[in-house]
Amino acid sequence: MGIRLHFWGAAQTVTGSSHHLECAGQNILLDCGLFQGHRQQGREMNAHLALPPEQLNAVVLSHAHIDHSGDLPLLAKQGYRGPIYTTPATVDLCEKMLKDSAHIQESDAEFVNKWARRRRSIGVAPGNGEATPLYTQEDAAQAVDLFKPVKLHTPQLLAGSTAEAGFTTSTTDAGHMLGSTSVLIEAREKGRTTRLLFSGDVGRKGLPIIRDPDPAPAAEYLIMESTYGNRLHQPIGPVKKKLAGLVNRTVGRGGHIVMPAFAVGRTQQVVMLLHELINDKAIPDIPIFVDSPLAVNVTDVFRKHEEEWDKDAQMFADINQDPFGWKRLHYTRSVEESKALNGLRMPFIVISASGMCEAGRVLHHLKNSVEDPRNLILITGFQAENTLGRMIVERRPEVKIFGEPMRLRAEVDSIGELSGHADQRELLEWMAPVAPTLKRVFLVHGEPDAQQALKEEIERRYRLDVVCPKRGERYQVG
């Protein structure tokens, strides 16, 4: 009786969120995310889903970030045709993001094959095997067709379940990004109901654009993220002053700024902050470019879902100003426009995906910037292990970009204050309302050091049983 939990992704790591729940013969997935890291390791992990698609009744998606949604096209490719429940904003974001992810998969396979053919032509690579994408844009479109939008705070009986047996879910605002949720699951079997809360990614109070997270609802069991479980963020308030100082210092020495930023959420927040700084004349009127086709498309989704904005973003709209677009800002769409930025010989800012510097146009900008000490590489979010972004944050003397070793001579800084993830103190505060009813906590979406620190704090403060499951481990609750 109760719920059988199978932890498949984001288990003692921060990517690839995926948790399999089984009750009364019904099987659901919480998230179906892409593991991001070394190419071969990522391919191997992403290719193996938590369970065969024909055994799966429903998917519940907490939010649109690719480490939570990015394996959904593979699920569709392998035959899944059931519903994927999520918020309306997440549906619209995933339509753009999953297509973009598939395009990257296809481009990567094409690049690897071209490189391999070149090496074989000169006799330095064996075999004739061709790399294939994990999934295609057609698979992504198939996955998007399966989405079923559900509003916040609205109970949803999942496919295959009944009022007597199976799963009902409802969602609260997680405050992490547009459309992000925490998911409350009620599992019924043989007259007993078990309540389990999945935090998704918990946001922070006071983030630009996004509303603050809702308090955690009552539950018996909690699956909670732990990305910053061993850290405390700087207050969000001073971030504008810090950003202004970094921009002014770089402009003063004639350099330019490359800001790797997630296309969803972080790009829009940074754009709004720069908008405010220029309006306040706190930074000079230099060209600002958003160089990411995905970010351009996603920004249109942000404009569409004004109901998700916080009061500050609403104030921009009330005075007839678009927080995501003004005359100084240039959204580049074509490859030619992107390449032209590398020929500029003046101070400018380029905001470009991906957030962890693993793919996309930002790699070209980094290649043309990292060896010049006048420039600034400004990191805007968490960088997972084994990513180029992590190596830059660690200020490695040398980094590889497109396989070419390059000296890291540019200034490196970060504005972690904009992180969409709650820190240790904020996670403890978020879970405070549910702590009195909890029997056990499962920590996910965090590296081992972060999880251990948060585990110890939860045990000390709330006297709860805390587990940090490994990939593949199974538990029964209730």
Residue 354, preceding bond cis, omega within 30 degrees?
yes
What pLDDT, on a 0 to 100 scale, did the predictor assign at position 299? 83
Q: For residue 220, give both structure tokens.
A: 């018996």
Domains 3-231+420-477 and 239-418 share a fold: no
What pLDDT, on a 0 to 100 scale, did the predictor assign at position 1? 64
Judged against a pLDDT cut of 90, whether residue 37 lies above it is answered with no
Listed range (66-70, 328-332, 410-414) with the worst mean pLDDT: 328-332
- CATH number for the segment(s) 239-418: 3.40.50.10890
Q: Taking the domains of the chain in order of start, what are their residue ranges?
A: 3-231+420-477, 239-418
What pLDDT, on a 0 to 100 scale, did the predictor assign at position 353? 78
Task: Give the N- to C-terminal CA distance of the chain in Å, as an integer.
Answer: 7
Report d(CA 185, CA 223) in Å as an integer: 11
pLDDT tens digits, 263-274 = 778 888 888 889
What pLDDT, on a 0 to 100 scale, did the predictor assign at position 126? 59
- Element containing residue 466 per DSSP (H, E): strand 465-467
- The DSSP-derived string for 78-115 is TT--S-EEE-HHHHHHHHHHHHHHHHHHHHHHHHHHHH
Q: For residue 130, give both structure tokens.
A: 């061709």
Report d(CA 345, CA 216) in Å as an integer: 50
Report d(CA 464, CA 213) in Å as an integer: 23
What pLDDT, on a 0 to 100 scale, did the predictor assign at position 279? 86
Give the percent of the chain with pLDDT over 70.
96
pLDDT tens digits, 132-161 = 999 999 999 999 999 999 999 999 999 999
Query: Predicted confidence band at 321 (pLDDT cuts at 50, 70, 90)?
Result: low
Mean pLDDT within 128-133: 78
Judged against a pLDDT cut of 60, whether residue 10 lies above it is answered with yes
Mean pLDDT within 55-70: 96
Long-range contacts of 273-280 (CB under 8 A, 24+ apart): 273/208, 273/239, 273/240, 273/243, 274/243, 274/329, 274/349, 275/316, 275/321, 275/323, 275/326, 275/329, 276/240, 277/240, 277/243, 277/244, 277/247, 278/328
Q: According to the CATH classification, is domain 3-231+420-477 in 3.40.50.720?
A: no
Judged against a pLDDT cut of 70, whether residue 38 lies above it is answered with no
Query: Predicted confidence band at 361 (pLDDT cuts at 50, 70, 90)?
Result: confident
User: The pTM is what?
Assistant: 0.85
Report d(CA 49, CA 18) in Å as an integer: 9
What pLDDT, on a 0 to 100 scale, did the predictor assign at position 269? 86
Higher-scoring residue by pLDDT: 332, 200: 200
Q: In one letter, which amino acid is 117?
A: R
